[in-house]
Structure 1
Amino acid sequence: MSKLFEPFEAKGLTFKNRLIHVPTTLNMSDPQGYATRRLAAAYGSLAKGGYAATLVGATCVRRDGLINERMLGLYDEDYVIEFRDTVSEIKNNGSLAGIQLFYGGLIPGLGTTVPLEAGKGWIPGTVAWGPSNKYVIGNPESGVVPTEVYDDIVESFAQAGRRAKEAGFDFLSFHFCHGSLPHTNLSLLANQGRTDKYADRFYMCEAIIERTQELCGKDFPLIPRLCCDENLEGGYDIEYFAEHYAPRLHALGISVLDCTFGSMLGAPSRRADIHSTEFIGPSFYTPKVVNKDNIQKLRTELQKRGIDMPLIGSANLITPDHLRTMVDEAGADFAGVCRLSLDDPDFPNKMMQGREDEIRLSTHTGASLLQGNIFGKGWAGSAQNPVFGREDEYRIVPTNRPKKVVVVGGGSGGMEYALTADEIGHDVVLFEKAATLGGAMDWAGNYPGLPNMEMLRYQPSYHRKMIAKSKVDVRCGVDADVAMILAENPDVVVVATGARPIAIEVPGLAEARSSGLALRIDEAMRRDDPPAIGKRVVVVGAAEGAELAIDYKLRGHDVRLVEAGPAYAPANYIGSRVWAIMGMMAYAGLAAEPGLALKAIEGNEAVFAGADGEVRIEADTIVICSGREADNSLERAFMGKPVAVHVVGDARTPRSYANAIHEAAYLSRTVA
């Protein structure tokens, strides 16, 4: 039996279970940094989901330490009352309320798209500085913090802590990690050459905690978030942390240690297989439960020194089994969750109620295509869960005037629309021409040679499960035409037919497709009865085909990746995965060959036209990745007919599944 839902007592705190929503920067303040109703609703939804504790994310203690334009602040007394709504939402929903205090240090130099002045951050009025400028983050000419400014920042942390207590928070967290000023003060790399009291690398953290305890009381619970291993060449490791920092931290009487690992400082990673930053913000391909070994080692090192501190372990916990692994195997006292929280805030309750099959597991992708990166101009959201951050305006209101809704297309957008309309109380019919629901997401990510690609199937699996439990009338294997749709007497027709491959015509292609030599990408990747792939593979089109080419290469095929354009440019749904894809291409010894346009297929040769003349490549399999175009003929067919038409997802224009889900969520709520 897992310990996940056992209660836990720490100094001054009683946790109802072992699940913690760790600090997450949501960027939901107003332009001055005040807490908003949107923020309160978002954290309220997390608390309602069943967490033992819900932490409000990084809240800046001085304006010059901001790392984005909508970051929360606690700069003076005016900010206290604005937080009380958020605190009430969390505590009224049965969760302990915490808040993380933050000061940027070097991080404000990250995320700029223009050159920065020396010592400045990208937001006007912010600074990029640290204990030295030996190692930087973003701004290559970062400044050095004077002693008197260090003293003021320490006081700013403590005063912000006092205000947080007055706002009603149950405990405080401190951002002593990931490149913030307290972390760079801890760093063996960044903190070099000082001769003042801050040359003692732990002193800043210690001074913040001690001064906060003076203002808030020694018994007020503190759960600082510390980097326990920089994972950088020349940086401190777990043994060093346990020997030099943990005893002083423990002596300060903290309640729980929130453990992070890795650093954003510009130094080589100690591990070749996992970049240091992946322990902080795991990429799509990062191993699951990436900090399991780190937590186990930290626990062992602490026990050697007689230090007994409750630990929070986090990073890349995507499924319930990962949470159980962190607590039951790795030995953390708590599992800290972030991404899964946003994708399904109700997952703790679903676990407790035996409904794990209803959890909307994270695909670990897509959000950056919607609201933007949190280091820039965007608020945190979920690609899969369109309600997060819109809890008030997207609240389901049952209708007393049901409408007949016909959805054509059973991909991400079609299923999201059908589910929402059904929940509102409309009569919904869903047509899907394929034998099963899922659309492009059912074959996307079918790369057996690449890690973690199974996550892309989590979303259609969730949708199918919930459709099966709904009242939606699903009709698969039906290519619905206008007459068939009109026979249902619809009030609303939803065109969610997705996108089709862009047709290309070159001599010999039709014959090659008939013989099985040439395949479209969706055919090559289909899960049911997949085609045989030959030893020599030519992938035509790098935008869609790069990951497929890597997959084939890692599985032992001889692969050529050919691109008609001047360079590799990823498809728009790739998003932030592009950097990892380029890294894997280099690792696999694979490079896109640009400037080659498919001219013909002759026998077993793909013939390309290039700047230097004709290029012929022999192949056993040719995979055509020609891009996609909207399949919206139904929209045109219904023009002038007495029925409302909504177009969602790739039927509007090919993009990410996230766009389809969010469009469907909005439009389905407009049916009156």
Structure 2
Amino acid sequence: MTSKLFEPFDAKGLHFKNRIIHEPTTLNMSDPQGYATRRLAAAYGSLAAGGYGAVIVGATCVRRDGLINERMLGLYDEDYVIEFRDTVAEIKNNGSLAGIQLFYGGLIPGLGTTVPLEPGKGWIPGTVAWGPSNAYVIGNASSGVVPTEEYDDIVECFAQAGRRAKEAGFDFLSFHFCHGSLPHTNLSLLSNQGRTDKYADRFYMCEAIIKRTQELCGKDFPIVPRLCVDENLEGGYDIEYFAEHYAPRLHALGIAVLDCTFGSMLGAPSRRADVHSTEFIGPSFYSAKVINKSNIQTLRAALQKRGIDMPLIGSANLITPDHLRTMVDEAGADFAGVCRLSLDDPDFPEKMRQGREDEIRLSTHTGASLLQGNIFGKGWAGSAQNPVFGREDEFRIVPTIRPRKIVVVGGGSGGMEYALTADEIGHKVVLFEREASLGGAMDWAGNYPALPNMEMLRYQPAYHRKMISKSGVDVRTGVNAGVAEIMAEAPDVVVIAVGAAPVEIAVDGLDAARAAGLAVRIDEVMRRDAPAAVGKRVIVYGAAEGAELALDLKLRGHDVRLVDAGPAYAPANYIGSRVWAIMGMMAHFGLATEPGKTLTGLGNGTATFSTADGSETAEADTVIICAGRRTDNALETALATASVTVHVVGDARTPRSYGNAIHEAAYLSRQVR
């Protein structure tokens, strides 16, 4: 069946060239006062150039006390209009419709604080955390209650910001009526309790914003609100309630398209035991793909039953081209809304259209927060995989007029990124890799057959290998290159990207246990080709690296113990936000870390540990050692006196995330002169 994804769509005077929408994404790329910047324009311009039907600029605050990030965009007064014109031009010049989402924080400014908050205050100075009541809160346990006159002013601020957005040249408006913002908490059956003013009508605030905006912008100016359709909380409204009570009034206002979200950040128990409400908003690493497919189908049926024909955007966890097609062709959404994939590969719509899907840098769904910090943690939005996003101007490829000979040693994430970039610039590149194939640690990091979605970790090395195969890089696998092999190439630059070596631990009987197959390392168990055998009774030693492996083996039917020398489970630095899901799964499947036990001996089917109470001996068929990784700087030392420029990237510098390796390689490869 031919997908509808690239069919045009017309709605309320808007002509979408295809059904792919970049959803509003907070990038934190304004200046300190909330003005749009050149960095912002370049980032959104890169998305538009990638071939989207529409690009929606992320949450833009309509009143300063509603900020939820220090570098959040604002449209507080007339001064802000001109600063947006560059962003609008970048989007529209590249052939996409330009939208902007207008926002006011409500309860959300109380989220993510690292310091105690005063009652009713947000974590950014001058911000407030308040809602229609303080029955359910987000972050600040002592949130305030919005007076009627403040509600009225905020409604006017939304409308005036909408007028300014139209004057700046945007094609349509999006309103943030979801995820804990003030309009959403007004809709909520949970948080909007006990009011006696006009805002006791839960839909009134959204309705008032739209009507006043239409007075200022004209009734024909398109509005595409992003609205919570189902709170997915116990006691919260559901799709049927939305379709009965909110959808008819929304439809009567003449909106162009409904941008559907599902889930809430309010502090109430999730309605479904298997999926947390917030997973429908920002899916975790382990969440189901196309997580809102059934929600969109249910909503469509509920609307049709009431004779409401309203175009819908469906989104959340659309990671591959097939997921987008599923959302439009099977779920029945008119548009597929994308965020994370947009940042990881802004060109993916055009690659799809041209039949180049094998060149899409599919999202690994991890890593960005390890680099610049996340948007609630004093950071700007970026991609661990795509080092250019947010740096489009300064990271443009400029072909060299002085080609250099570059030797890259190591074919992992950092080495391949460096080689590809240097080749694109015009340098002559030789890439040595000691293994039989390229990929490095990322090549085995995703090999957990029983854990959901771990295959995403292999997307990055798969992309790199594909692009290397299409490049001019001279790849030599199976070569453990030393100084002699490197210098024989007469290089101008040598890139050390050999990754990290396993930490060696001193344990009695370890050599014999390894020879007998009793003791193996984590990378040996997880490698793609000829992995080490694992017996029925398994001890995973080292919870930082080994927790996910222990879970995977348990789910595959092994008897697993997870033992660690430390006082408590402390995740490896590359785990990032996955840690909360890992700990939840460990509790659910009855896998507890056994802390305070140091491996001291390995014998015939046994492992001995020292403990606070003495020692313990346990029987095992396999002991998997997950002792961490260490920098191996032997090659750097050996080249210290060589007359070449040496760049060290990734774990060869210090063990961290694959994203650090990619970003370092992208930067250093552009410095070759």
- The alignment status of 1:162 with 2:160, answered yes or no, reads no
Rounded to whole Å, the distance in 2 between the matches of 1:632 and 1:250 is 64
1:538-577 equivalence runs, <5 A: 538-577=539-578
How far 1:418 moved relative to its partner?
0.0
The structural deviation recorded for 1:556 is 1.1
Deviation at 1:412, TM superposition (A): 0.1
Q: How does 1:176-215 map to 2 (within 5 A)?
A: 176-215=177-216
- Equivalent AA in structure 1 for residue 131 of structure 2: G
Name the Cα RMSD after superposition: 0.5
- Who is 1:249 aligned against? 250
Query: What are the equivalent positions in structure 2 for 1:88-487 lying under 5 Å apart?
Result: 88-487=89-488
User: Is 1:643–2:641 an aligned residue pair?
Assistant: no
Partner letter of residue 237 of structure 2? Y
Amino acid at match of 1:474: V
CA distance in 1, matches of 2:470, 2:455: 23
Deviation at 1:617, TM superposition (A): 1.2
| Residue number in structure 1 paired with 2:61 | 60
**Post-superposition CA distance 1:230-262 (Å, at most 9, x none):** 000000000000000000000000000000000
Code of the aligned partner of 1:531:
A
Deviation larger for 306-315 or 526-535: 526-535
Matches of 2:539 and 2:553, distance apart in 1: 10
1:98 alignment partner, SS class: strand
Give SS of 2:47's match.
helix
Q: Secondary structure at the match of 2:445?
A: coil
Instruction: Work out the CA distance in 2 between the residues paired with 1:614 and 1:294.
Output: 54
Q: In structure 2, how many angstroms separate the alpha carbons of the residues matched to 1:583 and 1:210?
A: 44
- Could you say what secondary structure the match of 1:97 adopts? strand
Q: Displacement of 1:569 after TM fit?
A: 0.3
Aligned to 2:230, the other structure's residue is in SS state coil
For the residue of structure 2 that corresponds to 1:325, the secondary structure is: helix
SS in 1 for 2:266: coil
- 2:3 equivalent in structure 1: 2
Taking the aligned partners of 1:617 and 1:103, their CA distance within structure 2 comes to: 57
1:621 corresponds to: 622
CA-to-partner distance for each residue in 1:147-200, whole Å, 9 max, x for gaps?
A: 000000000000000000000000000000000000000000000000000000
- Whole-angstrom CA distance in 2 between matches of 1:445 and 1:135: 39
Quote the offset at 1:505 in angstroms.
Answer: 2.0
Deviation at 1:103, TM superposition (A): 0.2
Structure 1 counterpart of 2:510, one-letter code: L
Contact 1:562 1:592 in 2 (8 A): yes
Partners of 2:632 and 2:179 in 1: CA distance: 45
Note the C-alpha offset of 1:356. 0.1
**Superposed CA offset, 1:476-498 (max 9, x none):** 00000101100000000000000
Deviation at 1:590, TM superposition (A): 0.6
Q: Structure 1 counterpart of 2:231, which letter?
A: E
1:610 aligns with 2:611: yes
Distance 1:287 1:235 in 2: 22
Q: How many residues align?
A: 672
**Cα distance in 2 for residues equivalent to 1:393 and 1:634:** 31
State the 1:634 CA deviation: 1.0
TM superposition shift of 1:362: 0.1
Instruction: Name the amino acid aligned to 1:615.
Output: E
What is the DSSP-based 3-state SS (H/G/I as helix, E as strand, rest coil) of the residue aligned with 2:46? helix
C-alpha displacement of 1:633 = 1.2
> Is this contact kept in 2: 1:192–1:199, CA < 8 A?
yes
Letter in 1 for 2:63: R
TM-score for both structures, normalised by structure 1: 1.00
Quote how far apart the aligned CAs of 1:632 are.
2.0
Unaligned runs of 5+ in 2: none
TM-score (norm 2): 1.00
SS state at 2:646 partner: strand
AA aligned to 2:550 is A
Q: Secondary structure of the equivalent of 1:29?
A: coil
Residue identity matched to 2:76: Y
Cross-structure match for 1:670: 671
Look up the SS of the partner of 1:14 in the other structure. Answer: strand
User: Is 1:519–2:520 an aligned residue pair?
Assistant: yes
Residue ranges of structure 1 left out of the alignment (5+ in a row): none
Amino acid at match of 2:561: R
Instruction: Specify the alignment match of 2:600 in structure 1.
Output: 599
Amino acid at match of 2:589: A
Distance 1:17 1:117 in 2: 47
Q: Which amino acid aligns with 2:65?
A: D
SS in 2 for 1:371: coil
Q: What is the rounded CA distance, in whole Å, between the counterparts of 2:274 and 2:394 in structure 1?
A: 44
Shift of 1:75: 0.2
Q: Which amino acid aligns with 2:423?
A: D
Q: Give the counterpart letter for 1:446 in structure 2.
A: N
Deviation at 1:202, TM superposition (A): 0.1
Q: Shift of the alpha carbon at 1:376?
A: 2.3
| Partner-residue secondary structure (3-state), 1:175 | strand
Once residues 28 and 618 of structure 2 are traced to their aligned partners in structure 1, the CA distance between those partners, rounded to angstroms, is 50
- After TM superposition, give the deviation of residue 603 of structure 1 in Å: 1.3
CA deviations on 1:259-318 (whole Å, 9 max, x unpaired) are: 000000000000111100000000000000000000000000000000000000000000
1:373 CA displacement: 1.2
Distance 2:617 2:251 in 1: 68
Please give the alpha-carbon distance, in whole angstroms, between the structure 2 residues aligned to 1:373 and 1:338: 15
Which amino acid counterpart does residue 406 of structure 2 have in structure 1? V
* Sequence identity percentage: 84
**Structure-1 residue corresponding to 2:582:** 581
What is the distance in 1 between the residues matched to 2:24 and 2:74? 14
CA distance in 2, matches of 1:515, 1:318: 42
- Does the CA-based 8 Å contact 1:499-1:650 persist in structure 2? yes
Counterpart mapping for 1:21-36 below 5 A: 21-36=22-37
Corresponding residue for residue 16 of structure 2: 15
For the 8 Å contact 1:69–1:376, the answer to whether it is kept is no
Alpha-carbon separation, structure 1, partners of 2:196 and 2:44? 43
